[in-house]
């Protein structure tokens, strides 16, 4: 059974790094959290940015030298890319926009994952000294085997968890900071697999980049292979196994990552994670090279587009459009108007608007077709 505690009391004890650990025999109502070297938290939020901010906050503020923390969380549909990935190549941004699915960049490494309410996220916080992904995954695998005996699950060298030898149900990523570490992993219980495949593909062709790539894998949901495994039962099993593995007796606590009084500074962390500068601006330098097919009622042609994008902004743009389709002067004005802009369809559209207004007739219509083709490359 979920044992709810007032988060302010438990976190007051753990929040400040300089606070001395109080004695085991404290009679305070949240005494159970003081006694052991562990803590289990469950986030009340299903917002990916709030939850990522919560991870940042715990990593920065909780003293992990003598105790670890396990955080359990899930998000409304979102795509989460790794620290050094390229969102345009990892996911279909227009498809996500249509479905209201945001993209978030996390601070740990690794590849791209799709989150929804059927995916459980586990974050194991520990000191750098106690950083041990294999041990953490052992917790997950053994918990699964307990709640669903006979389930064929195992952890791989890459720290994935596979079902039946080949179906991925969990992926891992981690972050090491000054004194602390966190290792987080997904766990597919009942995610929407068709939504997953619809969004985990590139926004546009022709991207060349040295950003860290994802390793695509066929996935499966636990529920499809263990139909009686309920969500709460899964969580209870994981908490139980975490306690067993680390010799603890922590009950879990609900926490609200929007509560600035419990987590001072967390809303600033959330704002940073939501920002364009973090999500898109941190994309490693890349180039886009692709052909554009242009057609109107009287003619069609092929054009070549080459853009260099750095920090999410267009550094250079080269457009080879046959002069018979559109005067070179106009193609040149288009590329000039794009340089320095964010690699973003809305910004680009705004940037070319005045250029379009200055034309008329067939020139305007062809320029419009060209603009649309270029903008569609931006996701």
Partner 1 sequence: MAACGLFRSLSSSAATALPLLSRPAPLSALRLACKPSVRRTVASSSRLSAALKYTDKHEWVRVEDGGIGTVGISNFAQEALGDVVYCGLPEVGTQLAQHDEFGALESVKAASELYSPLTGEVVEVNTLLADSPGLVNKSCYKDGWLIKMTIANPAEVDALMDEPAYERYIRSIED
Contacts of 48 (CB under 8 A, 6+ apart): 75, 76, 78, 80, 102, 104, 115
State the nearest-atom distance from the C-beta of 177 to partner 1, in Å.
5
Q: Give how many residues touch partner 1 by CB under 8 A.
A: 31
The DSSP output letter for 342 is: B
d(CA 362, CA 368): 10
Q: How far is the CB of 175 from partner 1 (least distance, A)?
A: 5
Reference 92, options 82, 81, 106; nearest CA is 81
Residue 116 near residue 75, CB atoms below 8 Å: yes
Residue 143: its H or E element:
helix 133-147
Q: 3-state DSSP call for residue 208?
A: strand
Which stretch in 43-51, 128-136, 147-155, 360-368 sits in contact with partner 1 by CB under 8 A?
A: 128-136
Q: Which is nearer to partner 1, 190 or 241 (CB)?
A: 241
Given 13, 175, 342, 366, the residue binding partner 1 (CB under 8 A): 175
Stretch that binds partner 1, among 49-57, 70-78, 172-180, 327-335 (CB under 8 A): 172-180
| Per CB under 8 A, 44 contacts partner 1 | no
For partner 1, which residue of 285, 306, 347, 368 counts as binding (CB under 8 A)?
Answer: 285
When the beta carbons of 40 and 173 are compared against partner 1, the nearer one is 173
Range 211-270, binding partner 1 (CB under 8 A): 211-212
Nearest residue (CB) to partner 1, 13 versus 106: 106
Q: Which stretch binds partner 1 (CB under 8 A): 9-17, 112-120, 122-130, 142-150?
A: 122-130
What is residue 305's DSSP assignment?
E
d(CA 312, CA 284) in angstroms, rounded, equals 8
Q: Is the Cβ of residue 55 or residue 116 nearer to partner 1 in the bound state?
A: 55
Query: Which residues touch 266 (CB under 8 Å, ≥6 apart)?
Result: 53, 54, 56, 57, 257, 258, 259, 260
Site string for partner 1, 59-98 (x = CB under 8 A): -----------------------xxx--------------
Of 63 and 130, CB closest to partner 1: 130
List CB contacts of 63: < 8 A, sequence separation 6 or more.
Answer: 14, 16, 17, 19
Rounded to a whole number of angstroms, the minimum distance from the CB of residue 227 to partner 1 is: 33
Q: Which of 23, 164, 177, 249 binds partner 1 (CB under 8 A)?
A: 177
Number of neighbours of residue 156 by Cβ within 10 angstroms = 13
Which of 204, 348, 216, 346 has its CA nearest to residue 286?
A: 204
Nearby residues of 281 by Cβ (< 8 Å), 6 or more positions away:
275, 311, 312, 313
Could you tell me the smallest distance in angstroms from the CB atom of residue 185 to partner 1? 13
State the burial class of residue 147 (Cβ atoms within 10 Å of its Cβ: 0-12, 13-18, 19+): buried
> What is the separation of C-alpha 84 from the centre of its chain, rounded to a whole number of angstroms?
11
Residue closer to partner 1 by CB (options 277, 362) is 277
> Which CB sits closer to partner 1, 176 or 223?
176
* Pairing outcome for strands 286-295 and 207-209: antiparallel
Identify the residue among 108, 190, 252, 335 touching partner 1 (CB under 8 A): 108
CB-nearer residue toward partner 1: 240 or 285: 285
Binder to partner 1 among 102, 109, 202, 206 (CB under 8 A)?
109
> Considering beta carbons, is residue 54 or 199 the nearer one to partner 1?
54
Burial environment of residue 104 by CB neighbours within 10 A (0 to 12, 13 to 18, 19 or more):
buried
* 369 touches partner 1 by CB under 8 A: no
Looking at the Cβ atoms of 184 and 189, the one nearer to partner 1 is 184
Stretch that binds partner 1, among 26-34, 69-77, 133-141, 365-373 (CB under 8 A): 133-141
Q: Under the rule (CB under 8 A), what is the footprint of partner 1?
A: 82-84, 107-110, 128-135, 173-179, 181, 183, 210-212, 282, 284-285, 311
């Amino acid at each position: 059974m979920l044992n709810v505690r007032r988060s302010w009391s438990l976190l007051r004890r753990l929040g400040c790094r300089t606070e001395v650990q109080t004695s085991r025999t404290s009679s305070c109502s949240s005494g159970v959290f003081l006694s052991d070297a562990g803590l289990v938290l469950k986030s009340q939020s299903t917002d990916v940015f709030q939850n990522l901010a919560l991870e940042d906050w715990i990593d920065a503020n909780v003293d992990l030298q003598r105790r670890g923390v396990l955080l359990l969380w899930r998000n409304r549909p979102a795509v989460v890319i790794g620290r050094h990935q390229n969102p345009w190549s990892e996911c279909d941004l227009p498809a996500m926009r249509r479905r209201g699915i945001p993209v978030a960049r996390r601070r740990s490494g690794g590849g791209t994952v799709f989150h929804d309410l059927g995916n459980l996220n586990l974050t194991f916080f520990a000191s750098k000294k106690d950083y041990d992904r294999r041990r953490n995954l052992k917790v997950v695998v053994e918990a699964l085997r307990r709640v669903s005996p006979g389930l064929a699950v195992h952890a791989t060298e890459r720290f994935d968890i596979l079902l039946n030898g080949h179906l991925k149900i969990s992926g891992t990523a981690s972050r090491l900071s000054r004194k602390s570490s966190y290792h987080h992993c997904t766990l597919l219980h009942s995610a929407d697999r068709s939504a997953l495949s619809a969004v985990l593909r590139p926004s546009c062709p022709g991207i060349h980049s040295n950003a860290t790539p994802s390793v695509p894998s066929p996935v499966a949901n636990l529920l499809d292979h263990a139909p009686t495994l309920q969500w709460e039962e899964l969580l209870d099993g994981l908490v139980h196994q975490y306690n067993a593995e680390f010799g603890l007796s922590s009950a879990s606590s609900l926490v609200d990552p929007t509560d600035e009084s419990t987590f001072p500074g967390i809303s600033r962390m959330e704002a940073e994670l939501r920002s364009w500068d973090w999500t898109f601006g941190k994309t490693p330098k890349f180039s886009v090279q692709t052909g554009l097919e242009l057609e109107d009622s009287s003619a069609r042609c092929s054009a070549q587009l080459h853009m260099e994008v750095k920090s999410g902004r267009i550094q250079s743009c080269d457009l080879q459009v046959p002069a018979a389709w559109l005067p070179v002067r106009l193609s040149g004005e288009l590329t000039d108007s794009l340089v320095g802009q964010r690699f973003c369809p809305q910004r680009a559209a705004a940037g070319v608007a005045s250029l379009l207004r200055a034309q008329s007739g067939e020139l305007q219509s062809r320029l419009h077709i060209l603009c649309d083709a270029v903008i569609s490359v931006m996701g």
